[in-house]
């Protein structure tokens, strides 16, 4: 099977496009191929498939074999892949996702190569039961949560996949690997959850680190950056447009007052191509 290794700010994937649907035993393949010592290595597999609703359809299998409803970094990789590989010649395309429906994507192209991708990520879901959490509220804003004797406050946001955003004093040095996996499986979250630890440094900048459901710590999370911006607006600590600083780089996130949609802008990159022999 031919694949292309791509990443969005270090959140890396094996991208496949010559398929009509997911291959058999795809969960087992994801665990095997994403292993960074015995496989290719990656945070997940991304399949670019035909769509009856959009120009392309995207499905994402995490490194633990579970399926992700949406991924902001993956959708930017898909957009770059289809344009750079001449699967489309249009700079405005649509991509169907499992959890967020059809999304509008705009490409900034220089010398025939995509440099930046801007994605309409749709409206955030703030109703606690729909995120989903076990808590009622719209929004679930700065609610206490306790794990192993430590209490945090979180805000719940879905961007087609569930997130809880927690503000800490120093996100870049926060003990992500201790608290992320415990919060991911907390009883408040019936489908588990992505956990963002954030520190606001100004009205237009937030530093964030992420523990991704099904993948663990990653260098970037596009939907997590969107959720962090939405949470920060709700908590009145940033403006409606801000940079979100991730370990792998920055994303520019806007929450429009006009249509209530969240827009994400950032890069994607191809690393190399290869073949997997089974």
Instruction: Give residue-wise pLDDT tens across range 135-179.
Output: 999 999 999 999 999 999 999 999 999 999 999 999 999 999 999
Query: Residue 143: its pLDDT value, please?
Result: 98
The vertex-175 CA angle with 99 and 171, nearest 5°, equals: 70
Residues 6 or more apart whose Cβ sits within 8 Å of residue 184: 192, 193, 194, 195, 211, 213
Q: Which of the following is catalytic: 34, 77, 221, 226? A: 221
Q: What is the DSSP letter of 247?
A: T
Question: Which band of pLDDT confidence, cut at 50, 70 and 90, is reported for residue 277?
Answer: confident
Residue 34 appears among annotated catalytic residues: no
Please state, in angstroms and rounded to a whole number, the distance separating the CA atoms of residues 29 and 14.
Answer: 11
The confidence score (pLDDT) of residue 278 equals 73
- Lookup: tokens for 247: 């370990």
In the structure, what pLDDT confidence band is assigned to residue 187 with cuts at 50, 70 and 90? very high
**Looking at the predicted structure, is the pLDDT value of residue 251 above 80?**
yes
Strands 113-120 and 101-110 come out as: antiparallel
**In a 3-state reduction of DSSP, which class is residue 191?**
coil
Distance of CA 249 to the CA centre of its chain: 14
* Annotated catalytic residue 226: no
On the question of pLDDT at 215 being above 90, the answer is yes
pLDDT given for residue 130 in this prediction: 98
Across 204-211, average pLDDT: 98
State the burial class of residue 72 (Cβ atoms within 10 Å of its Cβ: 0-12, 13-18, 19+). Answer: buried
Q: What is the pTM of this model?
A: 0.93
Please identify which of the residues 34, 71, 77, 226 carries the catalytic annotation: 71
């Amino acid at each position: 099977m031919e694949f292309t290794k791509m990443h969005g700010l270090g959140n890396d994937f094996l991208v496949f496009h010559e398929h009509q649907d997911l291959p058999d035993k795809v969960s087992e393949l994801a665990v095997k191929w994403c292993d960074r010592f015995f496989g290719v290595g990656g945070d997940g597999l991304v399949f670019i498939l035909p769509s009856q609703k959009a120009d392309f359809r995207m499905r994402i299998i995490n490194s633990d074999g579970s399926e992700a409803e949406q991924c902001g970094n993956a959708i930017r990789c898909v957009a770059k892949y289809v344009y750079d590989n001449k699967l489309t010649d249009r700079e405005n395309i649509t991509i169907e996702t499992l959890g967020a429906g059809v999304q509008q994507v705009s490409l900034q192209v220089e010398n025939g190569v995509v440099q930046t991708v801007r994605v309409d990520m749709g409206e955030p879901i703030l109703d606690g039961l729909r995120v989903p959490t076990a808590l009622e509220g719209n929004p679930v804003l700065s609610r206490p949560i306790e794990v192993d004797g430590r209490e945090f406050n979180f805000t719940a946001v879905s961007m087609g996949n569930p997130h809880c955003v927690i503000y800490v004093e120093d996100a870049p040095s926060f003990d992500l690997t201790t608290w992320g996996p415990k919060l991911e499986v907390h009883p408040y979250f019936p489908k588990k959850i992505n956990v963002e630890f954030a520190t606001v440094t100004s009205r237009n900048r937030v530093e964030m680190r992420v523990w991704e459901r099904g993948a663990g710590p990653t260098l970037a999370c596009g939907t997590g950056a969107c959720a962090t911006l939405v949470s920060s607006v709700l908590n009145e600590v940033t403006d409606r447009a801000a940079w979100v600083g991730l370990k792998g780089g920055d994303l520019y996130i806007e929450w429009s007052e006009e249509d209530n949609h969240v827009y994400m802008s950032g890069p994607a990159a191809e690393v190399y191509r290869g073949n997997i022999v089974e």
